[in-house]
């Protein structure tokens, strides 16, 4: 990205709870500094009126860097030649809904998103998937966007990463920003493995890195049990207490993920958790899954940190979350089988490709373009 040019950012699900909290972070300069920003806000037709209201509020904020706000129900208009796409819009889990039904509904949406990205986005576009099931939605989108490098995609586990840092900081009675290199492994779901012990450290004033494994040596029961379940179930707990999902922290984590990935990079020796396409079989995890790993970011790219030595306990946890992701991929694959350009995944139907006109009807033809 050219540091002076307008940064064009598309946000799907922009009128939803996370969208409402995320958009000001993108428009205010929090992520991209004083670079001019153009926003393309994508929604489904019934949310278009609410979106028009958000556009009014954005105008009223008088953000100095915000050059334009385009509201649309057409993913092609939203994604054309943008630099960044944040996919927040998805089909919500309803009471009594099976996980496979959730995957089915979202696979349709993310098939459409992926194809639109493929058809109109620049090959340099960077895509962050927030909507759940985030890892598998990301896999579907990058599979369909075959002309865009898979390295340009990631799914959000940065919120889980921040939750893990905060829990360790509370346990040790220290400030959160001193806790580095905790890792969320695997899926953004209850099967994830929040790991403080493998690479985590406490950064002292003098720059010395004290391993969390030694600081928590007398607290291993906590680090391998309570800590893990607290982070895994934090989203559910917030809903119970707040009566609504964790939109504020999810928006903040989305903004911080984009900023670290695309603007600042990680500090030397530091990692953040990002769910990325595993084309290398990192840590023995099956190739072809979008899996959360410890990542370093530099010059707009992520790199999985390799060479960490995982305990037997950690390996067992990785297998659990890997299995869930394989099941999700299997469920999505059945739906993708008509188009199925599944990267790293052999499918008998993988050669038959659906045309983009077919794909538009996939989402019940509900998109209509409307530039407000």
Binding residues for substrate: 93, 99, 132, 163
Give the binding-site size for ligand NAD (rule: CB under 6 A): 27
Classify residue 251 by burial, with Cβ atoms within 10 Å: 0-12, 13-18, 19+. buried
Contacts of 154 (CB under 8 A, 6+ apart): 127, 128, 129, 138, 257, 261, 274, 275, 276, 290, 302
Question: Count of CB atoms within 10 A of residue 45's CB?
Answer: 11
- Judged by CB under 6 A, does residue 154 bind ligand NAD? no
- Judged by CB under 6 A, does residue 300 bind ligand NAD? no
Q: Toward ligand NAD, which CB reaches closer, 19 or 186?
A: 19
Q: Which of residues 98-117 bind ligand NAD (CB under 6 A)?
A: 109
Query: Which H or E run contains 248?
Result: helix 247-258
> Mapping DSSP to helix (H, G, I), strand (E, B) and coil, where does residue 13 land?
coil
Number of H helices, E strands in the chain: 13, 14
Among the residue ranges 15-23, 115-123, 205-213, 353-361, the one whose residues contact ligand NAD (CB under 6 A)? 15-23
- Judged by CB under 6 A, does residue 41 bind ligand NAD? no
> Mapping DSSP to helix (H, G, I), strand (E, B) and coil, where does residue 288 land?
coil
Binding residues: 13-19, 93, 99, 106, 130-132, 163
Q: Which of residues 178-217 bind ligand NAD (CB under 6 A)?
A: 188
Among the residue ranges 54-62, 89-97, 163-171, 335-343, the one whose residues contact ligand NAD (CB under 6 A)? 89-97
Distances (CA, A) of 227 to 10, 173, 182, 198, 250: 35, 15, 12, 14, 20
Does the annotation count 161 as an active-site position? Answer: no
Q: Toward ligand NAD, which CB reaches closer, 107 or 150?
A: 107
Contacts of 143 (CB under 8 A, 6+ apart): 114, 336, 340, 341, 342, 343
Q: Toward ligand NAD, which CB reaches closer, 224 or 245?
A: 245
Q: Cβ(308)–Cβ(199) under 8 Å?
A: yes
Instruction: List the catalytic residue out of 46, 161, 188, 218.
Output: 188
Among the residue ranges 36-44, 140-148, 307-315, 341-349, the one whose residues contact ligand NAD (CB under 6 A)? 36-44
Q: For binding to ligand NAD (CB under 6 A), which residues are involved? A: 12-13, 15-19, 42-44, 47, 88-90, 92, 109, 130-132, 134, 156, 159, 188, 245-247, 250
Query: Which residues are known catalytic residues?
Result: 188
């Amino acid at each position: 990205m050219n540091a002076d040019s307008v940064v064009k950012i598309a946000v799907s699900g922009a009128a939803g709870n996370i969208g409402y909290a995320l958009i000001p972070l993108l428009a205010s300069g929090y992520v991209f500094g004083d670079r001019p920003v153009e926003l393309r806000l994508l929604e489904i037709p019934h949310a278009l009126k609410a979106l028009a209201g958000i556009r009014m509020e954005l105008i009223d904020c008088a953000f100095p860097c915000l050059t334009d706000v385009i509201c649309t129900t057409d993913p092609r208009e939203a994604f054309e030649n943008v630099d960044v796409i944040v996919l927040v819009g998805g089909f919500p889990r309803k009471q009594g809904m099976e996980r496979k039904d959730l995957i089915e509904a979202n696979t349709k949406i993310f098939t459409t998103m992926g194809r639109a990205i493929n058809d109109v986005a620049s090959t340099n576009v960077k895509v962050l998937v927030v909507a759940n099931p985030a890892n598998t939605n990301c896999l579907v989108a990058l599979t369909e966007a075959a002309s865009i490098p898979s390295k340009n995609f990631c799914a959000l586990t940065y919120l889980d990463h921040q939750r893990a840092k905060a829990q360790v900081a509370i346990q040790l009675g220290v400030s959160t920003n001193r806790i580095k290199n905790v890792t969320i492994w695997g899926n953004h779901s209850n099967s994830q493995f929040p790991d403080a012990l493998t690479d985590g450290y406490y950064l002292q004033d003098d720059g010395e890195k004290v391993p969390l494994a030694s600081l928590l040596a007398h607290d291993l029961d906590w680090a391998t049990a309570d800590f893990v379940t607290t982070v895994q179930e934090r989203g559910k707990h917030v809903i119970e207490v707040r009566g609504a999902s964790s939109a504020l922290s999810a928006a903040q984590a989305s903004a911080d993920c984009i900023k670290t990935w695309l603007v600042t990079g990680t500090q030397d020796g530091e990692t953040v958790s990002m769910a990325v396409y595993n084309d290398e079989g990192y840590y023995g995890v099956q190739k072809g899954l979008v899996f959360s790993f410890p990542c370093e970011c530099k010059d707009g790219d992520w790199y999985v940190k390799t060479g960490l030595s995982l305990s037997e306990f950690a390996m067992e946890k990785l297998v659990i979350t890997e299995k869930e992701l394989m099941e999700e991929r299997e469920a999505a694959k059945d739906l993708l089988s008509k188009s199925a350009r599944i990267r790293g995944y052999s499918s008998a139907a993988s050669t038959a490709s659906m045309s983009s006109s077919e794909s538009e009807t996939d989402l019940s033809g509900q998109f209509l373009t409307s530039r407000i």
